[in-house]
Amino acid sequence: MRLVLVGPPASGKGTQAASLCDRLRVPKISTGDMLRAARAAGTPLGVAADRFMSAGKLVPDEVVIGLVDERLDAEDARAGFILDGFPRTVPQAESLSGLLARRGQVLDAVVQIDVPRGLLVERATLRRTDKRTGQIYHLKYNPPPPDAELEHRADDREETVAKRLDEYEAMTAALLPHYDQQGLLRRVDGVGKPAEVFARILQALGIQ
């Protein structure tokens, strides 16, 4: 299955992508994770991307499209994937169609996770990630085990979260009608326990 997860910052894309990967046995492809890895490695791409990420802005389309193009060539992505956080703009969506067409592939669905803005700030500011495993936790809703090596994302400070939410509304709004017109969009309520949201996603995809 080839899926895209769309939703505002901290709506639960990474959490749901992990569950979908386990269930569908396909890899998660997260442009946010790839950009953070490039930044941590200090590559020129990572250094350039950091300016945008720290400001809560989207990284330029050509940079993320290049990353996804390369990642889709990996053996594990041939049979399917969960794209988490890509595409976010109509130009990225059009490029993705081209990248898939070149490989003789098409998208099966685009899942939009809806969460009201008021809940997103708390989800982001209390998020912690285990550096070693990449596992996503929340200090209130999904507390980490005592031995986790916790990392607090720099862009999860309250003032940057607000900028990321504004950027999402400004840049990503046009993406949803784009996929709706193609009959690919599935809207899912992202409020509730992660397992409840996961069950709604499976239902929206027609998976038993």
The residue number with the shortest CB distance to ligand AP5 is 32
Cα 76 from Cα 99, distance rounded (Å): 16
In the complex with ligand AP5, which residue's Cβ is closer, 9 or 26?
Answer: 9
- Applying CB under 6 A, among 2, 20, 85, 186 the residue interacting with ligand AP5 is 85
131 neighbors 19 (Cβ within 8 angstroms): no
Note whether 110 binds ligand AP5 by CB under 6 A.
Answer: no
- The CB-of-163 to ligand AP5 minimum distance in angstroms stands at 9
In the complex with ligand AP5, which residue's Cβ is closer, 137 or 185?
Answer: 137
Cα 84 from Cα 101, distance rounded (Å): 20
Burial track 167-183 (b if 16+ CB lie within 10 A, e otherwise): bbeeebeebeebbeeee
8 neighbors 56 (Cβ within 8 angstroms): no
Active site residue 153: yes
Pull the structure tokens for residue 202. Answer: 């499976």
38 neighbors 64 (Cβ within 8 angstroms): no
Long-range contacts of residues 115-119, Cβ cutoff 8 Å, at least 24 apart: 115/7, 115/8, 115/10, 115/11, 115/12, 115/190, 115/191, 116/191, 117/8, 117/165, 119/191
Among residues 28, 164, 186, 200, which one is catalytic?
164
Among residues 123, 127, 128, 200, which one is catalytic?
127
Active site residue 13: yes
Residue owning tokens 């067409």: 101
The one segment of 38-46, 71-79, 132-140, 180-188 that binds ligand AP5 by CB under 6 A: 132-140
Note whether 50 binds ligand AP5 by CB under 6 A.
Answer: no
- The CB-of-55 to ligand AP5 minimum distance in angstroms stands at 8
Among residues 23, 153, 163, 187, which one is catalytic?
153
Residue positions annotated with a catalytic role: 13, 88, 127, 153, 164
Contact residues: ligand AP5, CB under 6 A: 7, 9-15, 31-32, 35, 52-53, 57-59, 64, 85-88, 92, 123-124, 127, 136-138, 141-142, 155, 164, 192-194, 197
